Structure 1
């Protein structure tokens, strides 16, 4: 078992993390998959993606659910069924970590990303790079990773065709990357929606969680 930790986001929302230390066969033997999930797993070309997929199912089993409780809608958004109350779920995985977040109150979006220098090369494609001004190189990398996670998390909540990271999702400026929260806005189709953002460092990874205000 490689359950890593849980983080309480608020009184109705908790995130769970699995550190992937097992090889593929160990994970595969410990999960029960429905046929559609097994077919999806077999189509994955990367073992890293396969292990991330299985680790998500390990997390579901860890908190009392299973792959049979998880389904995806026509837009690819995950949902839980067979529950006594309406629950919202979001899923993310990156290299050695998988995460799920369960909310009893609001739609939720999460993203986990490894902190890597190459984020700065693509930063101009998804963010206002003036938000990295006057930071050291390591802090620029970390902040750009946080901002990517903010945009990815909001996109997972809305999941609408046509949403652009640089054109429609805007993080409100936050001066210090040692903070753990900020706010952001989605401006799309002549409407504006606000989101509360929380972010955390986990080993060499950044975890970001978005909730509608």
Structure 2
């Protein structure tokens, strides 16, 4: 399938989302992967993960990049050789990439009721405005997780904990944006965050 959605939150930042409907072979055929990328994808046990990995390379092509333009640092954070900032995500049948001149993070999550079971592992302050009886409780939890995951990807600092160090201020799903804070080692950082939903999935992204 062609690109599913393109979002441009500002003139220097673009988000592209891909719906993964192609087979492994169809995704692989037009790509020229680096040797370590090929080894990585062939070593994946799940075809769903393989297709997610390959679909990200197709999004890169849509941006005008190749697999050769992408590399990872020792913390696992992706980078582009031209110096632009990138973040990558894939979940089940969707993948996404955000590229910007500023530091960024992105996450896509399937909206599932089991997130309520683990809510206390990543939610603390947010329980001040979250209510289990809210019809949108699962969707809001998924957005909060996505925002915190995006922040974690952006900051890429071992030791950070979603529950203790990340804070998402109250939001309405219809607004599609809110503010989040990182409070870590006596320093506070403020971020503008964005989110949207489609076909039972939530996507969140953060821009510095």
State the TM bucket, normalised to the shorter chain: over 0.9
For the residue of structure 2 that corresponds to 1:132, the secondary structure is coil
RMSD over equivalenced CA pairs, Å: 1.2
Question: Quick check: 1:55–1:98 contact (8 Å CA) kept in 2?
Answer: yes
Aligned to 1:90: 87
Q: Which runs of 5+ in 2 are unaligned?
A: none
2:60 paired residue number: 60
Distance 1:111 1:120 in 2: 18
Residues 132/2 of structure 1: CA separation in 2 closer, same or farther (3 Å cut): same
CA-CA distance at 1:177 after TM superposition: 1.9
* SS in structure 1 at match of 2:148: helix
In the TM superposition, residue 30 of structure 1 has moved relative to its aligned partner by 2.1
The Cα of 1:131 is off from its aligned counterpart by 2.9
CA distance in 2 between counterparts of 1:124 and 1:55 reads 33
Indicate which of 95, 110, 132 corresponds to 2:106.
110
In structure 1, what is the Cα distance between the partners aligned to 2:75 and 2:131? Answer: 37
User: Do residues 179 (structure 1) and 175 (structure 2) align?
Assistant: yes
Partner SS state of residue 162, structure 1? coil
| Unmatched segments (≥5 aa) in structure 1 | none
The partner residue of 1:162 within 151, 159, 167 is 159
Using structure 1 for the length normalisation, give the TM-score: 0.93
Deviation readout 1:2-29 (Å, 9 max, x if unpaired)? 3112011111101001110011111111
1:88-125 Cα distance to aligned partner (Å, 9 max, x none)? 10000001111100102x10000011111111111111
2:134 is equivalent to residue 136 of structure 1: yes
SS of structure 2 residue aligned to 1:178: helix
Q: Secondary structure at the match of 2:18?
A: strand
Does residue 43 of structure 1 match 2:43?
Answer: yes
TM-score (norm 2): 0.95
The answer to whether 1:198 aligns with 2:181 is no
Q: How far did 1:135 drift? A: 4.7
Would the aligned equivalents of 1:2 and 1:21 in 2 still touch at CA under 8 Å? no
Instruction: State the 4+ residue runs in structure 1 displaced beyond 2 angstroms.
Output: 128-131, 134-137
Contact kept, 8 Å, 1:113 with 1:207, in 2: the verdict is: yes
State the distance in 1 between where 2:132 and 2:64 align.
Answer: 46
SS of the residue 1:30 aligns to:
coil
Query: What is the aligned length?
Result: 206
Q: Distance in 2 between matches of 1:156 and 1:163?
A: 11
Q: Tell me the SS of whatever aligns to 2:113.
A: coil
